[in-house]
Structure 1
Amino acid sequence: MATREIQHITDAEWEIMRIVWTQGETTSKEVQQLLNQKTEWKTTTVKTLLARLVEKKLLSTEKLGNKFIYRSLIEEKSGIQLETDELLGKICAKEVGAVLKTIIDESVLSVEDIEQLEKALQKKKKNAVDVILCNCTPKDYSYKQAN
Protein backbone atom coordinates (compact mmCIF):
# COMPACT_ATOMS: atom_id res chain seq x y z
CA MET A 1 0.00 0.00 0.00
CA ALA A 2 1.49 3.37 -1.00
CA THR A 3 2.05 5.85 1.81
CA ARG A 4 -0.38 8.37 0.25
CA GLU A 5 -3.17 5.77 0.33
CA ILE A 6 -2.84 5.20 4.07
CA GLN A 7 -5.59 6.82 6.11
CA HIS A 8 -4.75 8.96 9.11
CA ILE A 9 -3.71 6.95 12.16
CA THR A 10 -4.95 8.44 15.44
CA ASP A 11 -2.70 8.52 18.50
CA ALA A 12 -4.64 5.63 20.05
CA GLU A 13 -4.44 3.59 16.83
CA TRP A 14 -0.73 4.38 16.69
CA GLU A 15 -0.29 2.66 20.07
CA ILE A 16 -1.94 -0.47 18.67
CA MET A 17 0.10 -0.38 15.45
CA ARG A 18 3.37 -0.11 17.40
CA ILE A 19 2.50 -3.31 19.23
CA VAL A 20 1.49 -5.14 16.06
CA TRP A 21 4.68 -4.04 14.29
CA THR A 22 6.79 -5.18 17.24
CA GLN A 23 4.99 -8.51 17.69
CA GLY A 24 4.59 -9.31 13.99
CA GLU A 25 1.22 -10.86 14.76
CA THR A 26 -0.87 -10.64 17.88
CA THR A 27 -4.27 -11.12 19.47
CA SER A 28 -6.51 -8.54 21.16
CA LYS A 29 -5.66 -10.17 24.51
CA GLU A 30 -1.92 -9.74 23.92
CA VAL A 31 -2.45 -6.12 22.85
CA GLN A 32 -4.51 -5.51 25.99
CA GLN A 33 -1.83 -7.05 28.24
CA LEU A 34 0.93 -4.94 26.67
CA LEU A 35 -1.15 -1.75 26.79
CA ASN A 36 -2.04 -2.34 30.45
CA GLN A 37 1.55 -1.37 31.24
CA LYS A 38 0.89 2.21 30.09
CA THR A 39 -2.86 2.76 29.66
CA GLU A 40 -6.08 1.89 31.43
CA TRP A 41 -8.01 1.06 28.28
CA LYS A 42 -10.81 -1.42 28.59
CA THR A 43 -10.93 -4.55 26.43
CA THR A 44 -13.78 -3.03 24.41
CA THR A 45 -11.63 0.00 23.60
CA VAL A 46 -8.79 -2.19 22.34
CA LYS A 47 -11.19 -4.28 20.24
CA THR A 48 -12.80 -1.13 18.80
CA LEU A 49 -9.40 0.26 17.84
CA LEU A 50 -8.37 -3.05 16.26
CA ALA A 51 -11.64 -3.09 14.29
CA ARG A 52 -11.04 0.46 13.06
CA LEU A 53 -7.54 -0.48 11.92
CA VAL A 54 -8.94 -3.49 10.05
CA GLU A 55 -11.60 -1.24 8.48
CA LYS A 56 -8.88 1.23 7.41
CA LYS A 57 -7.05 -1.73 5.84
CA LEU A 58 -4.04 -1.20 8.09
CA LEU A 59 -4.46 -4.57 9.82
CA SER A 60 -5.64 -7.96 8.64
CA THR A 61 -7.47 -10.34 10.91
CA GLU A 62 -7.75 -14.10 10.81
CA LYS A 63 -9.89 -16.26 13.07
CA LEU A 64 -7.87 -19.06 14.62
CA GLY A 65 -9.94 -21.22 16.95
CA ASN A 66 -11.66 -18.91 19.39
CA LYS A 67 -9.34 -15.91 18.85
CA PHE A 68 -8.43 -13.47 16.11
CA ILE A 69 -4.88 -12.97 14.91
CA TYR A 70 -3.97 -9.43 13.77
CA ARG A 71 -1.16 -8.62 11.33
CA SER A 72 -0.10 -5.30 9.86
CA LEU A 73 -0.84 -4.65 6.20
CA ILE A 74 1.62 -1.75 6.09
CA GLU A 75 5.26 -1.54 7.03
CA GLU A 76 6.21 0.51 10.06
CA LYS A 77 8.34 2.68 7.76
CA SER A 78 5.21 3.64 5.78
CA GLY A 79 3.39 4.60 8.97
CA ILE A 80 6.32 6.72 10.09
CA GLN A 81 6.46 8.37 6.66
CA LEU A 82 2.76 9.23 6.94
CA GLU A 83 3.30 10.83 10.35
CA THR A 84 6.34 12.72 9.06
CA ASP A 85 4.39 14.04 6.06
CA GLU A 86 1.55 15.15 8.35
CA LEU A 87 3.94 16.94 10.72
CA LEU A 88 5.84 18.71 7.94
CA GLY A 89 2.54 19.69 6.31
CA LYS A 90 1.49 21.48 9.50
CA ILE A 91 4.52 23.72 9.94
CA CYS A 92 5.95 26.63 8.00
CA ALA A 93 8.65 25.55 5.53
CA LYS A 94 10.95 28.12 7.15
CA GLU A 95 10.69 26.24 10.47
CA VAL A 96 11.54 22.72 9.24
CA GLY A 97 15.24 23.08 10.13
CA ALA A 98 14.40 24.24 13.65
CA VAL A 99 11.93 21.38 14.10
CA LEU A 100 14.51 18.83 12.94
CA LYS A 101 17.08 20.32 15.33
CA THR A 102 14.60 20.05 18.19
CA ILE A 103 13.87 16.42 17.31
CA ILE A 104 17.61 15.68 17.28
CA ASP A 105 18.18 17.55 20.55
CA GLU A 106 15.32 15.72 22.28
CA SER A 107 16.10 12.22 20.97
CA VAL A 108 18.42 9.51 22.19
CA LEU A 109 20.56 8.60 19.19
CA SER A 110 23.14 5.90 18.62
CA VAL A 111 26.52 6.61 17.05
CA GLU A 112 25.22 4.90 13.90
CA ASP A 113 22.14 7.17 13.88
CA ILE A 114 24.36 10.25 14.12
CA GLU A 115 26.64 9.00 11.34
CA GLN A 116 23.61 8.42 9.08
CA LEU A 117 22.31 11.91 9.86
CA GLU A 118 25.70 13.44 9.09
CA LYS A 119 25.80 11.64 5.72
CA ALA A 120 22.24 12.72 4.91
CA LEU A 121 23.03 16.34 5.78
CA GLN A 122 26.22 16.34 3.69
CA LYS A 123 24.26 14.97 0.73
CA LYS A 124 21.44 17.49 1.31
CA LYS A 125 23.95 20.36 1.57
CA LYS A 126 25.00 19.85 -2.08
CA ASN A 127 21.57 21.06 -3.28
CA ALA A 128 20.67 23.39 -0.41
CA VAL A 129 19.01 26.72 -1.14
CA ASP A 130 20.10 30.00 0.38
CA VAL A 131 16.64 31.01 1.62
CA ILE A 132 13.56 28.99 2.48
CA LEU A 133 10.34 30.72 1.50
CA CYS A 134 7.27 30.68 3.71
CA ASN A 135 4.53 28.35 2.48
CA CYS A 136 1.88 29.40 5.00
CA THR A 137 -0.28 31.38 2.60
CA PRO A 138 -0.93 31.12 -1.13
CA LYS A 139 1.46 33.19 -3.26
CA ASP A 140 -1.37 35.39 -4.56
CA TYR A 141 -2.73 36.05 -1.07
CA SER A 142 -2.70 39.68 -0.12
CA TYR A 143 -3.81 41.14 3.16
CA LYS A 144 -6.63 43.61 2.71
CA GLN A 145 -7.33 45.89 5.59
CA ALA A 146 -11.01 46.47 6.37
CA ASN A 147 -12.10 50.08 5.77
Structure 2
Amino acid sequence: MKENQISPAEWEIMRVVWTTHPITSTEIYNILQEKTNWKLPTTKTLIGRLVKKGMLTTQTKGRKYEYSPAVTEKQSIKETTDALLEQVCSTKVGQTIEVMLENSVLSQDDLASLEQLIEEKKKTAPEVVACNCTPGQCDCRHEGGK
Protein backbone atom coordinates (compact mmCIF):
# COMPACT_ATOMS: atom_id res chain seq x y z
CA MET A 1 0.00 0.00 0.00
CA LYS A 2 1.38 3.41 -0.93
CA GLU A 3 1.97 5.89 1.89
CA ASN A 4 -0.92 8.11 0.71
CA GLN A 5 -3.39 5.23 0.34
CA ILE A 6 -5.79 4.79 3.20
CA SER A 7 -7.57 1.78 4.67
CA PRO A 8 -11.36 1.37 4.73
CA ALA A 9 -11.38 2.37 8.42
CA GLU A 10 -9.35 5.49 7.64
CA TRP A 11 -11.85 6.33 4.87
CA GLU A 12 -14.58 6.35 7.53
CA ILE A 13 -12.64 8.96 9.50
CA MET A 14 -11.86 11.03 6.40
CA ARG A 15 -15.49 11.08 5.29
CA VAL A 16 -16.44 12.63 8.64
CA VAL A 17 -13.60 15.17 8.52
CA TRP A 18 -14.37 16.18 4.92
CA THR A 19 -17.95 16.85 5.99
CA THR A 20 -17.29 18.56 9.33
CA HIS A 21 -14.06 20.39 10.07
CA PRO A 22 -12.32 21.44 12.16
CA ILE A 23 -13.38 18.55 14.37
CA THR A 24 -12.04 16.82 17.49
CA SER A 25 -11.37 13.11 17.92
CA THR A 26 -14.28 12.84 20.37
CA GLU A 27 -16.64 14.43 17.85
CA ILE A 28 -15.45 12.00 15.16
CA TYR A 29 -15.91 9.10 17.59
CA ASN A 30 -19.45 10.24 18.46
CA ILE A 31 -20.45 10.52 14.78
CA LEU A 32 -19.10 7.06 13.93
CA GLN A 33 -20.36 5.34 17.09
CA GLU A 34 -23.60 4.21 15.41
CA LYS A 35 -21.77 2.77 12.39
CA THR A 36 -18.71 1.22 14.06
CA ASN A 37 -18.01 -0.52 17.34
CA TRP A 38 -14.74 1.34 17.81
CA LYS A 39 -13.59 2.62 21.16
CA LEU A 40 -12.25 6.17 21.44
CA PRO A 41 -8.60 4.96 21.49
CA THR A 42 -9.18 3.16 18.16
CA THR A 43 -10.54 6.36 16.63
CA LYS A 44 -7.53 8.29 17.95
CA THR A 45 -5.11 5.68 16.54
CA LEU A 46 -6.71 5.96 13.09
CA ILE A 47 -6.59 9.76 13.27
CA GLY A 48 -2.89 9.57 14.21
CA ARG A 49 -2.18 7.40 11.17
CA LEU A 50 -3.98 9.88 8.92
CA VAL A 51 -1.97 12.76 10.38
CA LYS A 52 1.26 10.78 9.80
CA LYS A 53 0.20 10.06 6.20
CA GLY A 54 -0.39 13.78 5.63
CA MET A 55 -4.13 13.34 5.15
CA LEU A 56 -5.12 15.45 8.18
CA THR A 57 -3.77 18.62 9.71
CA THR A 58 -3.81 19.28 13.44
CA GLN A 59 -4.43 22.49 15.32
CA THR A 60 -4.32 22.83 19.10
CA LYS A 61 -7.33 24.51 20.73
CA GLY A 62 -6.70 24.69 24.46
CA ARG A 63 -6.27 21.10 25.63
CA LYS A 64 -7.88 19.62 22.52
CA TYR A 65 -6.68 18.89 19.02
CA GLU A 66 -8.82 19.82 16.06
CA TYR A 67 -8.43 18.05 12.75
CA SER A 68 -8.99 19.29 9.21
CA PRO A 69 -8.43 17.60 5.85
CA ALA A 70 -5.06 18.18 4.21
CA VAL A 71 -6.36 16.73 0.94
CA THR A 72 -9.71 16.99 -0.79
CA GLU A 73 -12.13 14.12 -1.09
CA LYS A 74 -11.95 14.41 -4.89
CA GLN A 75 -8.14 14.16 -4.80
CA SER A 76 -8.31 11.08 -2.57
CA ILE A 77 -10.88 9.38 -4.79
CA LYS A 78 -8.70 10.06 -7.85
CA GLU A 79 -5.58 8.63 -6.16
CA THR A 80 -7.50 5.54 -5.05
CA THR A 81 -9.01 4.86 -8.46
CA ASP A 82 -5.66 5.51 -10.16
CA ALA A 83 -4.04 2.95 -7.83
CA LEU A 84 -6.76 0.40 -8.65
CA LEU A 85 -6.45 0.90 -12.40
CA GLU A 86 -2.64 0.60 -12.22
CA GLN A 87 -3.15 -2.97 -10.95
CA VAL A 88 -5.30 -3.96 -13.94
CA CYS A 89 -4.11 -4.79 -17.46
CA SER A 90 -4.70 -1.66 -19.57
CA THR A 91 -6.87 -3.76 -21.89
CA LYS A 92 -9.20 -4.51 -18.94
CA VAL A 93 -9.72 -0.91 -17.73
CA GLY A 94 -12.99 -0.61 -19.66
CA GLN A 95 -14.28 -3.85 -18.10
CA THR A 96 -13.27 -2.61 -14.66
CA ILE A 97 -15.18 0.65 -15.13
CA GLU A 98 -18.15 -1.30 -16.50
CA VAL A 99 -18.26 -3.44 -13.33
CA MET A 100 -18.08 -0.30 -11.20
CA LEU A 101 -21.01 1.22 -13.12
CA GLU A 102 -23.08 -1.96 -12.91
CA ASN A 103 -22.65 -2.06 -9.13
CA SER A 104 -23.33 1.63 -8.49
CA VAL A 105 -26.49 3.61 -7.90
CA LEU A 106 -26.20 6.75 -10.01
CA SER A 107 -28.43 9.81 -10.32
CA GLN A 108 -29.73 11.13 -13.62
CA ASP A 109 -27.20 13.98 -13.33
CA ASP A 110 -24.37 11.47 -12.78
CA LEU A 111 -25.43 9.55 -15.88
CA ALA A 112 -25.67 12.72 -17.95
CA SER A 113 -22.15 13.72 -16.88
CA LEU A 114 -20.84 10.26 -17.75
CA GLU A 115 -22.54 10.35 -21.15
CA GLN A 116 -20.93 13.72 -21.87
CA LEU A 117 -17.52 12.43 -20.78
CA ILE A 118 -17.88 9.33 -22.94
CA GLU A 119 -18.75 11.46 -25.98
CA GLU A 120 -15.60 13.55 -25.37
CA LYS A 121 -13.43 10.45 -24.86
CA LYS A 122 -14.73 8.95 -28.14
CA LYS A 123 -13.10 11.83 -30.07
CA THR A 124 -9.58 10.73 -29.07
CA ALA A 125 -9.99 7.04 -28.19
CA PRO A 126 -7.67 4.58 -29.97
CA GLU A 127 -9.14 1.63 -31.86
CA VAL A 128 -7.27 -0.80 -29.59
CA VAL A 129 -5.63 -0.30 -26.19
CA ALA A 130 -2.19 -1.88 -25.97
CA CYS A 131 -1.41 -4.29 -23.14
CA ASN A 132 0.95 -2.85 -20.53
CA CYS A 133 1.61 -6.07 -18.62
CA THR A 134 4.84 -7.92 -18.10
CA PRO A 135 4.76 -11.21 -20.04
CA GLY A 136 3.14 -13.82 -17.82
CA GLN A 137 0.82 -11.37 -16.02
CA CYS A 138 -2.06 -11.73 -18.47
CA ASP A 139 -3.08 -13.61 -21.56
CA CYS A 140 -4.34 -10.72 -23.70
CA ARG A 141 -1.16 -10.68 -25.80
CA HIS A 142 -2.09 -14.21 -26.87
CA GLU A 143 -5.52 -12.94 -27.93
CA GLY A 144 -4.07 -10.47 -30.41
CA GLY A 145 -3.83 -7.59 -27.91
CA LYS A 146 -7.60 -7.37 -27.40
Which residue number corresponds to residue 14 of structure 1?
11
- Which consecutive aligned stretches of 4+ in structure 1 deviate over 6 angstroms post-superposition? none
Which residue number corresponds to residue 80 of structure 2?
83
Q: Please state if 1:69 is matched with 2:66.
A: yes
Which residue number corresponds to residue 55 of structure 1?
52
Give RMSD over aligned pairs: 1.6
| Structure 1 unaligned regions, length at least 5 | 139-147
Q: Greater shift after overlay, 13-22 or 128-137?
A: 128-137
Provide TM-score, normalisation by structure 1. Answer: 0.84
Partner-residue secondary structure (3-state), 2:124: coil
Provide TM-score, normalisation by structure 2. Answer: 0.85
Which residue number corresponds to residue 128 of structure 2?
131
Shift of 1:77: 0.9
Shift of 1:6: 6.9
Which residue number corresponds to residue 119 of structure 1?
116
| Structure 2 unaligned regions, length at least 5 | 136-146
Partner-residue secondary structure (3-state), 1:39: coil
Between the two proteins, what is the percent identity of the paired residues? 44
Find the aligned partners of 2:34 and 2:132 in 1 and give their Cα distance: 41
Q: Please state if 1:32 is matched with 2:29.
A: yes
Selected match of 2:94 from 88, 94, 97: 97
Find the aligned partners of 2:132 and 2:75 in 1 and give their Cα distance: 25
Selected match of 1:107 from 104, 109, 127: 104
Shift of 1:17: 0.8
The count of corresponding residues between Structure 1 and Structure 2 is 134
